[in-house]
């Protein structure tokens, strides 16, 4: 999209639409405004018991914004069960700009010095728009999600937009809501200010779990 940059993308998020590409090899970007939207209620986040053990044991070293573009490229790469992705080079470039201007962030999970999983998304006011995640090791992306929710709760965020619901996300409490309901939640969230960096990086897993409400 010629002339489509950070300002225009933030405007899209503010009115409830988000960009995608048809495929990795398709250079075009289109905007989506689905009838139903996937959200993960921050006050109703559920952590499966086995994942709690992984987080508590600090299996992964978790960082924030250490290698944003690497995370996006990993999300864009084919993986077993996900041979095609919607992240094309134009989207990679656009979100790199978003990160450089402080609106896009990544959570990284490391094991033995190697990047094992992570996720990235966009902040606007007290809303976080989750874009994509990837995993190269058991529970790596799930651990990133737990750390993200802890960070959003600590920073006063009101909305975690997952775009679409999946069976995987439903295990964490994700639910589909109608467009009108979504817009009500979106308007309330972006009118407030969230602090993505209020939670210190490197918090031990046990302490992190204690900080998260409604984890049963």
The torsion angles phi and psi of 144, rounded to 5 degrees, stand at -60, -40
Note the pLDDT of residue 201: 94
- Of 216, 192, 4, 162, nearest to 90 (Cα)? 4
The four Cα atoms 91, 70, 169, 216 give a dihedral, to 10 degrees, of -140
The torsion angles phi and psi of 143, rounded to 5 degrees, stand at -65, -40
Q: What is the pTM of this model?
A: 0.93
- Per-residue pLDDT reduced to its tens digit, 27-77: 788 899 999 999 999 999 999 999 999 999 999 999 999 999 999 999 998
Cα–Cα distance measured from residue 75 to residue 139, given in angstroms and rounded to the nearest whole number: 15
More confident site: 83 or 34: 34
């Amino acid at each position: 999209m010629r002339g489509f940059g950070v300002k225009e993308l933030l405007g899209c998020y503010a009115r409830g639409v988000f960009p995608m590409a048809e495929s990795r090899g398709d250079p075009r970007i289109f905007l989506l405004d689905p009838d139903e939207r996937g959200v993960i209620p921050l006050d109703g986040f559920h952590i499966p018991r086995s994942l709690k053990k992984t987080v508590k044991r600090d299996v992964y070293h978790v960082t924030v914004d250490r290698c944003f573009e690497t995370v996006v490229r990993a999300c864009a790469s084919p993986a077993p069960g996900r041979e095609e992705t919607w992240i094309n080079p134009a989207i990679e470039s656009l979100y790199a700009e978003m990160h450089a201007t402080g609106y896009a962030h990544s959570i990284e999970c490391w094991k033995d010095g190697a990047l094992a999983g992570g996720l990235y998304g966009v902040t606007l006011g007290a809303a976080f728009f989750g874009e994509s995640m990837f995993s190269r090791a058991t529970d790596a992306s799930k651990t990133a999600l737990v750390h993200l929710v802890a960070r959003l709760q600590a920073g006063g965020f009101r909305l975690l937009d997952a775009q679409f619901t999946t069976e995987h996300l439903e295990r964490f409490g994700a639910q589909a809501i109608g467009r009108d309901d979504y817009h009500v939640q979106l308007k309330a969230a972006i009118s407030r200010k969230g602090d993505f960096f209020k939670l210190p990086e490197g918090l031990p897993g046990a302490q992190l779990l204690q900080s998260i409400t409604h984890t049963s």
